[in-house]
Amino acid sequence: MPRRRPDMSSDQPGAPADSCPPEHPAAAVEVARVVEQAHRESWSTVLASVVRLTRDLDLAEDCTQDAFVQALRTWPDGIPANPGGWLSTVARRVALDRLRRETTLRRKLPLLVEESGAEEEQPTDLLRLVFTCCHPALARDSQVALTLRLICGLTTREVAAVLLVSEPTAAARITRAKKKIAAAGIPYRIPADQELAARLDAVLTVVHLAYTAGHVAAGTELTRTDLTGRAVQLARMLVRLMPREAEPQALLGLLLMTEARGDARVSADGELVLLADQDRSRWDSALLAEGVSRATLALEHGQGRFALQAAVAGLHMTAPSWEKTNWVQVVRMYDAMLISWPTPIVALNRAAAHSLVPGADLVAVLEELDALTKETALTSYAYLPATRADVLTRLSRHAQAAEAYEQAIALTANETERRFLSNRLAELQARGAQS
């Protein structure tokens, strides 16, 4: 939702004459709901179309926010049939009005842009914006933070939660990235073929993180489908742009396999269902088949980190059941991943998989997990204490397991996940009381 106060100046343009006609007058609660939904679904596309017009990230973001503010003011008179199109038109007209009034901006525009089709949204606008955010002149952490802010429309606090950093750190990364784009005159365009390889890994990383953001969102929803859907859309664009590259295929395959089991992640009464307990008949067979096919194709042409992640997902999705999953092979995939991508989260996933290998030494696994508690990047990551709690429970160390569950609950912002962990803790405490 917009975070600035509405601009009530008399020269602020209203709803565009050529926008979709409004429906019947709507109540304030309904307007707020539709604006919130439009913010989730259309923020990035509206912003991208305005960036192409203004060539200024800050100005484009400001004008996009103005459009949402105007929606709150004018939609009570009638919600447009096409909210996203209305917002794009208003945001561009706000931007044109400001450019006319502040002609000096034309001598200071920080981004270069292709001028053709500036009045229309273009399908490549989102991809242009992603490549701008992932320019090699920017540090990787700034690339990721800026993309999550602009493409996903996340607040600075939400960006910090996804990146496992403090809110001031996330804000500083976003600010640095914007200043660097302005100072370096970074162009707003899809790079030429010879430039694509240098940016591909960064772009794949931010698209994957955008998808991940949809699964770690705070609030009542277990999954934010606006974020996951946008990431899948971008992954498909990358495959079309670079059809011979293995890693875009692998990323798309990974996302599609995860999407395939989306409905099975929640029970009929709204509770979280782990992969081990999911009804596999509820998985989307078409998405699963496409995801496995793309992951297989990627593995035939390379073993990059996204190909390896897709391979892990494929091992889960093609196993007859949770119990019959080839955990030894899953661990091998994570071992290979740690060579090319030695991050604490990969190490955590590897330890979790290791704990499920038949006959695994759980004490040794617990030592791996305890070592990871010293990793700064995981201090606010709820899945680490949750994994420790599971292993401790299986070792019958119930008091320590309860303490780990409490830590995980304290770190979890999503209400569905917090409720799941609380239920696990209650079951553990009940068993302790009985014994």
pLDDT in tens, 354-382: 999 999 999 999 999 999 999 998 998 99
Which is higher by pLDDT, 33 or 172? 172
Q: Which residue has the tokens 């990047």?
A: 377
Q: Which residues have CB under 8 Å from 45's CB, separation 6+?
A: 84, 88, 121, 125, 126
Where do the structural domains in the chain lie, given as residue ranges?
28-106, 326-435
pLDDT confidence bin for 26, thresholds 50/70/90: low
Query: Rg of the chain over CA atoms, in angstroms?
Result: 23
The pair phi, psi for residue 138, each rounded to 5°, is -95, 145
Q: Which residue has the tokens 């459009």?
A: 67
Residue 128: which of 140, 108, 111, 149 has the closest Cα? 111
Question: Are the CB atoms for 206 and 134 separated by under 8 Å?
Answer: yes
Tell me how far apart the alpha carbons of residues 85 and 82 are, in angstroms, rounded to a whole number.
5
Tell me how far apart the alpha carbons of residues 307 and 129 are, in angstroms, rounded to a whole number.
25
DSSP state, 415? H
Amino acid at 421: L
- What are 25's two structure tokens? 């007058």
Residue 95: which of 84, 106, 85 has the closest Cα? 106
C-alpha to C-alpha distances, 1 to 37, 43, 308, 314, 373, nearest whole angstrom: 9, 9, 37, 37, 35
Query: Taking 70 as the threshold, does the pLDDT of residue 111 lie above it?
Result: no
Question: Are the CB atoms for 55 and 114 separated by under 8 Å?
Answer: no
- What are 368's two structure tokens? 């791996």
Q: Tell me how far apart the terminal alpha carbons of the chain are, to the nearest angstrom.
A: 50
149-153, 247-251, 345-349, 395-399: the lowest-pLDDT one: 149-153
Per residue in 120-142, pLDDT (tens digit) is 556 578 888 888 888 888 888 88
Per residue in 43-94, pLDDT (tens digit) is 888 888 888 888 788 888 888 888 888 888 888 888 888 888 899 899 988 8
* Fold of domain 28-106: Rna Polymerase Sigma Factor; Chain: A (1.10.1740)
Q: What is the mean pLDDT of the chain?
A: 84
CATH class, range 326-435 = mainly alpha
- What are 71's two structure tokens? 């929606």
The pair phi, psi for residue 279, each rounded to 5°, is -80, 105
